[in-house]
Amino acid sequence: MPYDRSWTGFGIVGALETGAIALVVGIVVFGLLHAFGKGNGWSDGKRIAIAYVFSVVLGAGQDLWDLFYFNMAPLQSLTLLKLKLAAVHDPDAIGLRVFFELVGALVGVCIGWLAFAGGLKKLSASMRSS
């Protein structure tokens, strides 16, 4: 989801802020998918996997695309590279931001599973039975 990152910090501070945004997105997306998937008989694993994919696309999609583009696209001129880099907020820490967004989305989906699907209760019951 391309949102304006100009208000976020640079370096580790910006990475933590975008990771927190991805965490909130993960919780909300799992909550929505839980409501939809429970009525359709989806398992917990299917809901978690789909929620994680959607959370990554929404929370980290733009930074993932920029990271992919800078590594794979052939940039023929220095001017084109300067133009593309000028459009990215904090290009020095783009890898760090992507990492924190991926981890934030995963943690957000897990928190959503614990909160909405009763995951903690299911987890403790399965640990007791084994």
Model confidence pLDDT, tens digit, residues 75-119? 777 887 788 878 787 878 888 999 999 999 999 999 999 988 876
What number is the average pLDDT over the span 58-86?
82
Q: Is 111 exposed, middle or buried (0-12, 13-18, 19+ CB in 10 A)?
A: middle
What number is the average pLDDT over the span 7-21?
87
Is the pLDDT at 34 greater than 80? The verdict is: yes
C-alpha count within 13 angstroms, C-beta hemisphere, residue 66? 23
- Predicted model pTM: 0.83
What number is the average pLDDT over the span 34-61?
89
Contact status, residue 24 vs residue 3, Cβ threshold 8 Å? no
What number is the average pLDDT over the span 10-17?
89
